[in-house]
Structure 1
Amino acid sequence: MSVNAVTHLNFRGDARAALTFYRSVFGGDMNVVTYKDAGNVQDPSEADQVMWGQVSADSGLRLMAYDVPSNLPWDRGENAFFVSVRGDSAAEITEYWGKLAEGATVRQPLGPAQWAPLYGMLRDRYGVTWVLDVVSEYNG
């Protein structure tokens, strides 16, 4: 038996743009089902918004997202979660960082840290906080 945890991001009308952006960063495939596709339109102005979407990258990274309907409460929040991307290649992490950093607020520049060869934190243009690092052996 196998279980996978997948980050599920909630937006208010930006899910498709965010998934498209994350696909441009991480590559892979993007699948989107709109409220109209699923026959679940509650508000005609939201028919083409994302009811379920996912980016699946060849590296194994998976991100899901949807647009919270206007009849439900939604708050972007400040520190409700971080998306952590860990890799064993500095080149790969640096490439992801460069793409995510476009239009982002950098909270901790990508660089060496006591616990990792590379570590950085940023809040992207969609308000999602990302932590990227290169995995290193723990010597505690």
Structure 2
Amino acid sequence: MSLNAVAHLNFHGQAREALEFYQSVFGGQLTLATYADFGMPAELSSATNVVFGQVVADNGFRVMAYDVPGQDTPAAPGTPTTRRENGTTITEERFFLSVRGQSVDEITPVWECLAKDATVIEPFGPAQWAPAFGMLADRFGVTWIVDVAAEYTQA
């Protein structure tokens, strides 16, 4: 048996836009189903809001998302609650999404795309623990860690 943990993001009328953005960054197949597609009552949510959506890419990237019922207007992401102080991450968030590549050349375009209209928490560049590391809150308020896998040896 094989298990995979997949991030499932909750939005307020922005799921379609977010998933289309993530597809533009990571590639892959976009699947969307609206509340209307499932025949759900109009009072639950806007008929065009996403009740099930996902992006699945051949490179291993996968994310799911939907629009929370009854909240048809996009919520402003607000100020990110994550910041870096003296090399330490300070946050109130319960999770971040992490994208790790094998080389700086492989992961730099991902960083550059995610960084459009984002709040950069830690600029992308060499880090003490990895060839490259960066942290940002994208334009939808989702916090991402983008880094390059470091080679570790076991003691």
TM-score where L is the length of structure 1? 0.91
Counterparts of 1:49-64 in structure 2, within 5 Å, are 49-64=49-64
The one of 135, 138, 144 equivalent to 1:121 is 135
Q: 4+ residue stretches of structure 1 with deviation over 3 A?
A: 75-78
Counterparts of 1:70-109 in structure 2, within 5 Å, are 70=70, 78=81, 79-109=93-123
Give, in whole Å, the separation in 2 of the partners of 1:30 and 1:41: 25
Give the Å deviation of 1:40. 1.8
Give, in whole Å, the separation in 1 of the partners of 2:44 and 2:7: 28
The one-letter code sitting in structure 2 at the alignment partner of 1:4 is N
The one-letter code sitting in structure 2 at the alignment partner of 1:68 is V
Give, in whole Å, the separation in 2 of the partners of 1:23 and 1:50: 15
Give the Å deviation of 1:42. 4.4
Map Cα deviations across residues 42-65 of structure 1 (whole Å, 9 max, x no partner).
Answer: 427611100010001110110000
Map Cα deviations across residues 18-71 of structure 1 (whole Å, 9 max, x no partner).
Answer: 000000000111000111111223427611100010001110110000000127
What's the counterpart of residue 85 of structure 2?
none
Give the Å deviation of 1:138. 2.1
Gaps of 5+ in 1: none
Moved more, 79-88 or 42-51: 42-51
The one-letter code sitting in structure 2 at the alignment partner of 1:130 is W
Give the Å deviation of 1:134. 0.3
The one of 92, 100, 125 equivalent to 1:111 is 125
Q: Give the paired residue count.
A: 137
Report sequence identity in percent. 57
SS of alignment partner, residue 66 of structure 1? strand
Q: 1:49 to 1:117 in 2, by over 3 A?
A: same
The one-letter code sitting in structure 2 at the alignment partner of 1:37 is D
RMSD over aligned CA atoms reads: 1.8
Give, in whole Å, the separation in 2 of the partners of 1:80 and 1:48: 29
